[in-house]
Amino acid sequence: MNNRVKDIIIWDRLFDPKQTIGIEIEMEGQNLSFNNSIYWKYTHDGSLRGTPESIEYLLKEPIQKREVSRVLKLLKDLMLIKRKPPARFTPSDRCGVHIHINIQYFTEENLIKFMCTYLAVENLLLRYCGEARQGNLFCLRAIDANTLISKLIEYRQDGDLLKLTSRALDIKYAAMNLGAIREHGSLEFRALKTPNNIEKINEWVKLLCCVRDQSITFSSLEDIVETVSRYGADQFVRMIFQRHTNTLINVIGPDIEDDILEGIRIIQDIAYAKPLQQNKQEGINLPDY
């Protein structure tokens, strides 16, 4: 578990450790294409069918967290001010924003802590993203499609990261897409609906970065579960989101306890899963009492 992910999985390219954020924005509207941008490119996305146009904006390279706000503003200015005629953004419920967080330099231990801390607060984050994203088939929560949990338990037992991240299409439509680890060296978060004002994406990135940054402060997966038992759901959420807690609470309201407890029950099964015994006897291993 102390191996770095980059030593286990080989990608075409290792990014600079500071380049941590990738962004994809699905957009519908009018006059959506552009000629030239240092940071952005676009592709036509077959899964969208907006009229008259639909497009996906992608960052050419991952950027630093502190650049996100500026780079989103650059795209907005490019499309709405510099472009003639200006673009008209009318994203429907079909359009989503996918945030990639680079995990190439993570240790396996920190990677699973990041995933589990996210799962602990996933219900809250999906509520932040809006009612239409809860149970949405393009970003299913772990409670909606729980093969993700069984895969993480298996990983905890056999430690095989390559197996966990294989069969990318089978896990692609989870709100946290593990398939992107193998494909891009990142964890992909698919839950946010494309907002009318794309600068709002910055708030979502900040929330996800809080989860990443706080996850590595836990000493173990068990510590995440025990922190909630010790301090309660409210304090746990404040520990995770720090000064951005109000960004979340202002949208979802103060009623968070049930969602956190549900999340913790999920990761409890992962946290306490023991590695498989090396010399498993034939038949069923009866537990000790």
Identify which range of 27-35, 59-67, 83-91, 145-153 contacts other proteins by CB under 8 A. 145-153
Query: Which tokens sit at 262?
Result: 């549900």
26, 194 contact by CB (below 8 A) = yes
Q: CB under 8 A: which stretch of 21-29, 92-100, 112-120, 244-252 binds other proteins? A: 92-100
Asked whether the beta carbons of 48 and 54 are under 8 A apart, the reply is yes
Question: Using only C-alpha atoms, what is the Rg of the chain?
Answer: 20
Beta strands, E only, 121-254: 176-177, 186-193
Pick the closer one to other proteins by CB: 197 or 289.
Answer: 289
Cα 94 from Cα 28, distance rounded (Å): 9
Q: Does position 94 bind other proteins by CB under 8 A? A: yes
C-beta of 67 vs 257, nearer to other proteins: 257
- Which residue from 36, 46, 84, 131 is in contact with other proteins, where contact means CB under 8 A? 131
Please pick, from the candidates 196, 274, 275, 278, the single residue that binds other proteins as defined by CB under 8 A.
274
Q: Which region among 80-88, 130-138, 213-221, 235-243 touches other proteins (by CB under 8 A)? A: 130-138
Query: Which one, 18 or 265, has the nearer CB to other proteins?
Result: 265
How many residues at the interface with other proteins, by CB under 8 A?
A: 39
Site for other proteins in 146-175 (CB under 8 A): 146-150, 153, 157, 169-174
Contact region for other proteins (CB under 8 A) — 6-14, 29-37, 243-251, 265-273?
A: 265-273
Q: Which stretch binds other proteins (CB under 8 A): 35-43, 69-77, 86-94, 250-258?
A: 86-94
- Nearest to other proteins of 12, 288 (CB atom): 288
Q: Does 12 bind other proteins (CB under 8 A)?
A: no
The torsion angle over the Cα atoms of residues 228, 229, 233 and 235, rounded to 10 degrees, is -70
Q: Is the Cα dihedral 30, 36, 40, 41 positive or negative? A: positive
CA distances from 241 to 153, 178, 218, 234, 253 (A): 26, 22, 14, 11, 15
255 scored as a contact of other proteins (CB under 8 A): no
Q: Measured at the alpha carbon of residue 218, what is the angle toward residues 215 and 223, in degrees to the nearest 5?
A: 120
Identify which of residues 85 and 283 has a Cβ nearer to other proteins in the complex: 283
Q: How far is the CB of 122 from other proteins (least distance, A)?
A: 12
Instruction: Look at the block and give the residue holding tokens 């600079």.
Output: 16
CB nearer to other proteins: give 170 or 258.
Answer: 170
Residues in the chain: 289
* Rounded to 5°, angle at Cα 147 from 142 and 271: 70
Buried b (16+ CB within 10 A) or exposed e, 94-131: bbbbbbbbbbbebbbebbbbbbbbbbbbbbbbbbbbee
CB of 49 to other proteins, least distance (A): 5
Q: Which of residues 15-74 bind other proteins (CB under 8 A)?
A: 49
Q: Which stretch binds other proteins (CB under 8 A): 58-66, 69-77, 109-117, 137-145?
A: 137-145
Q: Which residues bind other proteins (CB under 8 A)?
A: 49, 92-94, 130-132, 134-137, 140, 144-150, 153, 157, 169-174, 265, 268-269, 272-274, 284-289
